[in-house]
Amino acid sequence: MTRRKRSKQNPRKDPAKTRLWVSPFSEKGSLLNAQDEQITQVILTFAQPVLVGLPNGCSKAQFAGVMRTVLTVWNAVVKDAQDGGNQHETAVLNTIASASKEVQLMVKRLIKRKKTKFATEQRLIGQHWVHEQGGEVLFGCEEKQATTSTFKAK
């Protein structure tokens, strides 16, 4: 998933040099259905500005941590859109209030990106997984039914 090489001209803006890998298998080992493969691609596209900033050769654990943050932001914005409020976004921002400025900025940018470039995509993400295979890190996720709550805001 995260094997990347950056161009020397503009290392942060070369999406052609970023290879994102989708796991063809679900968490349970069965093949992904087309719907889950599609939402996985959408999430990777959404996360790309963050993923491009990861160091070459980042570990599976580093990648998994970044994707947990990406999915938390995604689901918070979707839930707020469904509920007509901002309590989930506020809860995410309160959670990272003591984090580094870099992390806070990343999360705020992801929130803005979700609301502007991915506003029409209102599917919640349920299960997700990160696998290693042949030295590559693979990512996949499944859509969650929107009828159940994924967050309990304080």
Q: What would the pLDDT profile of 54-86 be if each residue is shown by its tens digit?
A: 888 788 899 999 999 999 999 999 999 999 999
**Percent residues over pLDDT 90 in the chain:** 49
Residue 65 lies in a domain: yes
- Whether 52 is covered by a domain: the verdict is yes
Please report whether residue 153 resides in a domain. no
In 10 A of CB 9, how many CB atoms?
A: 7
Average pLDDT of the segment spanning 29-44: 74
In a domain, 123, yes or no: yes
Domains held by the chain: number: 1
Q: Is the pLDDT of residue 18 over 50?
A: no
Domain assignment present for residue 25? The answer is: yes
Q: Model-level pTM?
A: 0.75
Q: 34 pLDDT band (50/70/90 cuts)? A: low
Q: What is the mean pLDDT of the chain?
A: 79
56 in a structural domain: yes
Q: Do the domain assignments include residue 9? A: no
Answer yes or no: is pLDDT of 2 > 50: no
Cβ-contact 126, 143 below 8 angstroms: yes
**pLDDT value of position 134:** 77
Closest Cα partner for 115 from 77, 142, 144? 77
Contacts of 16 (CB under 8 A, 6+ apart): none
85 domain-assigned:
yes
Judged against a pLDDT cut of 50, whether residue 16 lies above it is answered with no
47, 29 in Cβ contact below 8 A? Answer: no
Alpha-carbon Rg for the chain in angstroms: 16
Q: What is the mean pLDDT of residues 25-46?
A: 71
pLDDT of residue 64: 93
pLDDT confidence of residue 32: 54
* Each residue's pLDDT tens digit, 83-126: 999 999 999 999 999 999 999 999 999 999 999 999 999 999 99
The yes-or-no verdict on residue 35 having pLDDT over 50 is yes
H or E stretch at 141? strand 136-144
Task: Please name the residue ranges forming H helices in the chain.
Answer: 34-52, 60-83, 87-95, 101-117
* Structural domain of 82: 18-144
